[in-house]
């Protein structure tokens, strides 16, 4: 699970999702992306390359779940994969931000629908309609130009948030539910989360 700028501390949806995946029988890796407060694209890409190599060595379906700036990291990977980078089965992009002037190494992102489709078997986008970090709107900024299916979720702190996130997770077949059944038990998931070392539970 690729965390965003400044990590994913506190009551974050990634901390909710990880134990549900473990309970479903998934192997969950939680490496820390370097310098979450002042990130640089080259350092984050190096970590991603290593994690993808480790992921490729394991059995089962390979997933990457991204949040905020982690989505931008994945799009850079899709635009210019490192030599020998493995193909993953599915990617979930949650709340990709618009251009952030404080993070010049991450923007702009020169990627197109063909590159995104080639990087994973399927890619889905989840966002809210009023994300302050993407005032341009994720639909016009990402879903339409990249040809991605879009699922809307409520912003943090709203009563709808938990219910919609659970629906999104089931829809994306990340946790057991009507759409996924027991298949989750056979998956291997690469999650990336700030504040935790690889193989150590948050």
Could you list the residue range(s) of the whole structural domain that residue 170 is in?
13-190
Residue 2 is assigned to a structural domain of this protein: no
Q: What is the CATH number of the domain that holds 166?
A: 3.40.50.1820
Q: How far apart are the first and last CA of the chain?
A: 12
Reply yes or no on whether the pLDDT at 198 is more than 50: no
What pTM does this model have? 0.80
Residue 4 is assigned to a structural domain of this protein: no
* Number of domains the chain contains: 1
What is the C-alpha to C-alpha distance for residues 195 and 9, in angstroms, rounded to an integer? Answer: 7
Residue 199 is assigned to a structural domain of this protein: no
Give the count of alpha carbons within 13 A of 168, CB side only. 27
Identify whether the C-beta of residue 134 lies closer than 8 Å to the C-beta of residue 141: yes
Q: Between these two residues, 21 and 192, which has the higher pLDDT value? A: 21
What pLDDT score was predicted for residue 181? 35
List, for residues 30-44, the tens digit of each pLDDT value.
Answer: 778 999 999 999 999
- Using CA atoms, how far residue 167 sits from 19, 20, 122, 152, 156, in Å, is 16, 13, 18, 10, 15
Reply yes or no on whether the pLDDT at 182 is more than 50: no
Q: Between these two residues, 192 and 71, which has the higher pLDDT value? A: 71
Residue 113 is assigned to a structural domain of this protein: yes
Residue 197 is assigned to a structural domain of this protein: no
Residue 120 is assigned to a structural domain of this protein: yes
What is the C-alpha to C-alpha distance for residues 168 and 153, in angstroms, rounded to an integer? Answer: 8
What is the C-alpha to C-alpha distance for residues 194 and 44, in angstroms, rounded to an integer? Answer: 12
Residue 175 is assigned to a structural domain of this protein: yes
Residue 29 is assigned to a structural domain of this protein: yes
Reply yes or no on whether the pLDDT at 161 is more than 90: no
Identify whether the C-beta of residue 160 lies closer than 8 Å to the C-beta of residue 49: no
């Amino acid at each position: 699970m690729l965390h965003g700028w400044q990590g994913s501390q506190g009551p974050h949806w990634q901390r909710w999702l990880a134990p549900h995946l473990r309970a479903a029988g998934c192997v969950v890796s939680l490496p820390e992306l370097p310098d979450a407060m002042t990130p640089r694209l080259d350092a984050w890409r190096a970590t991603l390359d290593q994690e993808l190599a480790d992921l490729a060595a394991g059995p089962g379906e390979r997933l990457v779940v991204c949040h905020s700036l982690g989505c931008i990291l994945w799009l850079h990977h899709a635009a210019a994969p490192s030599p020998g980078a493995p193909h993953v089965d599915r990617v979930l992009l949650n709340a990709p931000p618009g251009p952030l002037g404080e993070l010049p190494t991450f923007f702009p992102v020169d990627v197109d629908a063909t590159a995104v489709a080639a990087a994973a078997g399927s890619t889905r986008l989840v966002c809210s309609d009023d994300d302050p970090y993407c005032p341009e709107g994720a639909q016009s900024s990402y879903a339409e130009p990249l040809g991605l299916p879009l699922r809307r979720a409520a912003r943090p702190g709203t009563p709808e948030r938990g219910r919609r996130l659970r629906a999104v997770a089931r829809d994306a077949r990340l946790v057991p539910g009507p759409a996924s059944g027991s298949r989750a038990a056979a998956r291997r998931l690469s999650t990336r989360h700030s504040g935790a070392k690889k193989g150590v539970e948050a």
